[in-house]
Structure formats: C-alpha cells, structure tokens
C-alpha cells in the first residue's frame, strides 16, 4: 500500500513537471510572438514615415505656391508700369536679352499699342512645357497680348520675351533678302504657297507664319514625314492656327519670304530653359 502511494505521488510530480514545462514554453512562445509582431509593426511604420517623407519632399520640390487671380493681375500691371531697370530685371524672366534691352522693347511696344484698357486673368496653363499663370493685357486699340507668370528662383516672374514676341534676329533682318537663321515666335497655319525652291508638294508641307506686330507674311516648309511635321500637327490639333517658337533658316539664294523650318522649339510662346 505504501509502495502504491509512492508510485502515485511520483507520477503526479512528473505530470506537474510536464505541465509546467508546457506552460513555460507557451509563455515564452507568446512573448516571442508579441515581440515579433511589435517589431514588424514598428518597421512598417518607419517605412511609411520614410515614404511619406520622400513624397512630402517631392511635393515640396515640384509644387507651386498659389497665386490668387487678383495677385496675378496686380503683378502684371506693376510690371507694365516699371520704370527702373533694376525692378524690371527683378520681376522679369529673361533668357536671351538683357534687362536693358527688355525694358526698352517693352516701352516701345506699349508706346506703339497705346493705352491699356484692362488686364484679365486667364488661369493656369499646364499644356506647355512649364506651367504658368496667364494674364491677358487688352489695349484700347483692341489688340491684346498674353503675359505668362512663371515661378522661377523661388519667386513669380513675368516672362518678358514671350510678351514681347522676341526673336533672336530683328524682324527687319528676318523679312529682308539674304541668308538668315533665327529662332522666331510666330502664329502658324497650313498654307499652299509652293514656289521658289519649294515647289514639290509631295516633299514639303507649307505653313504660313505671321505675327500680330508685323505686316509681313512668311512661309515655312517642313519635310513631310519628319518629326517637325508631327510637332506642328500636335500644336495645331483641331485649331486653325497656333503659336509656336521655331528655328528657321533661309539661304542667300532663297526668296526673302521663304524659310525651311529646322526645328519646333516650343508649342506656344513660352520657352523653357534648356
């Protein structure tokens, strides 16, 4: 009887040890599991923070500060009234001309156009290579010109050269007989003026090139099937005419009003920095 009780008590101790072992095992396993889950959540949260930081940095880099319509109009009106070269330089975006040249051309342009009737905000244009706010300047004569506001060097500036319709050669040289190569801001529309060195309609596509400030009409020719033709067609789309910046060339022996279009620099009159 005493032996039986001893055996029973011995079996009970072994059973308790086994139970204690499993209890400790599951406790350790549970702690490891909890630590693992917490570690995974921490790493995921850190990754999300890193991604958010990258996105926020990119948004800060590419986002534009908001300009209210009244602020856009006020800035253009102030720019048009500028009498100081220093102020003109600070407010203007210039690529090819000096502040002195730009201000002189602006004064001449305003003098030829006469009084300004009003300025009207047109909104943000994101169809060009760089986004820009647009303000239409309407003159008493009925003519108008669009001023583009571009955010550059951490401030908004008026793109002077697009407003002035600037070319890298004077219009007097462009429209006169002789060799000439220049960048030019013009309006274009399809035409059928084939003569001189461009008589083959199967080889050349003809475009009429003109500008509101000048009476002379020029003709540009592109080789059919070229990338320039594709770019011109994209600029025109469903429109009858379109503003573009072109690189054009005329040889000494060519008619003064005929040019070969070498490249399409921009669709629109706002030129991006290269």
In the prediction, which pLDDT does 1 show? 45
Euclidean distance between CA atoms 40 and 120, whole angstroms: 56
Cβ atoms of 126 and 263 closer than 8 Å: no
Euclidean distance between CA atoms 100 and 106, whole angstroms: 10
Cβ contacts of 80 within 8 Å, gap of 6 or more: 106, 110, 116, 119, 137
Segment 27-63, tens digit of pLDDT: 766 676 776 767 766 666 665 544 444 334 343 445 6
The mean predicted confidence, pLDDT, of the chain is 84
In the prediction, which pLDDT does 61 show? 43
Tell me the pLDDT band of 6, cut-offs 50, 70 and 90: very low
Query: Is pLDDT larger for residue 151 or for residue 38?
Result: 151
Cβ contacts of 169 within 8 Å, gap of 6 or more: 180, 181, 182, 184
Segment 220-270, tens digit of pLDDT: 999 999 999 999 999 998 889 999 999 999 999 999 999 999 999 999 999
Distance spanning both ends of the chain, measured CA to CA: 105
In what side-by-side order are the strands of the sheet with 144-152?
92-93, 155-159, 144-152, 132-139, 116-125
Burial class (CB in 10 A: 0-12, 13-18, 19+), 61: exposed
Euclidean distance between CA atoms 255 and 193, whole angstroms: 12
Query: Is pLDDT larger for residue 19 or for residue 221?
Result: 221
Q: Which two tokens stand for residue 102?
A: 């730009």
Cβ atoms of 124 and 131 closer than 8 Å: yes
Euclidean distance between CA atoms 131 and 151, whole angstroms: 8
16 has pLDDT over 50: yes
Average pLDDT estimate for 108-118: 91
Euclidean distance between CA atoms 222 and 202, whole angstroms: 11
Segment 58-111, tens digit of pLDDT: 434 456 788 899 999 999 999 999 999 999 999 999 999 999 999 999 999 999
């Amino acid at each position: 009887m005493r032996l039986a009780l001893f055996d029973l008590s011995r079996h009970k101790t072994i059973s308790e040890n086994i139970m204690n072992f499993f209890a400790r095992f599951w406790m350790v396993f549970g702690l490891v599991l909890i630590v693992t889950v917490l570690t995974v959540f921490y790493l995921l949260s850190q990754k999300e923070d890193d991604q958010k930081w990258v996105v926020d940095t990119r948004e800060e880099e590419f986002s534009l500060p908001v300009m209210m319509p009244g602020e856009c109009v006020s800035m253009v009106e102030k720019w048009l009234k500028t009498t100081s070269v220093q102020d003109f330089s600070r407010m203007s975006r210039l690529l090819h001309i000096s502040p002195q040249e730009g201000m002189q051309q602006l004064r001449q342009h305003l003098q030829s156009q006469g009084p300004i009737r009003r300025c009207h905000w047109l909104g943000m244009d994101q169809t060009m290579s760089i986004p820009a706010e647009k303000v239409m300047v309407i003159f008493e004569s009925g003519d108008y010109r669009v001023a583009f506001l571009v955010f550059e060097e951490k401030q908004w500036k008026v793109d002077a050269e697009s407003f002035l319709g600037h070319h890298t050669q004077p219009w007097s040289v462009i429209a006169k007989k002789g060799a000439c190569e220049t960048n030019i801001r013009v309006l274009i529309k399809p035409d059928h003026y084939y003569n001189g060195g461009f008589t083959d309609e199967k080889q050349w596509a003809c475009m009429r090139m003109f500008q509101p400030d000048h009476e002379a009409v020029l003709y540009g020719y592109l080789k059919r099937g070229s990338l320039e033709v594709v770019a011109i067609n994209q600029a025109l789309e469903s429109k009858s005419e379109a503003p573009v910046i072109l690189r054009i060339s005329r040889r000494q022996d060519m008619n003064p009003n005929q040019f070969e279009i070498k490249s399409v620099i921009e669709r629109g009159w706002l030129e991006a920095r290269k």
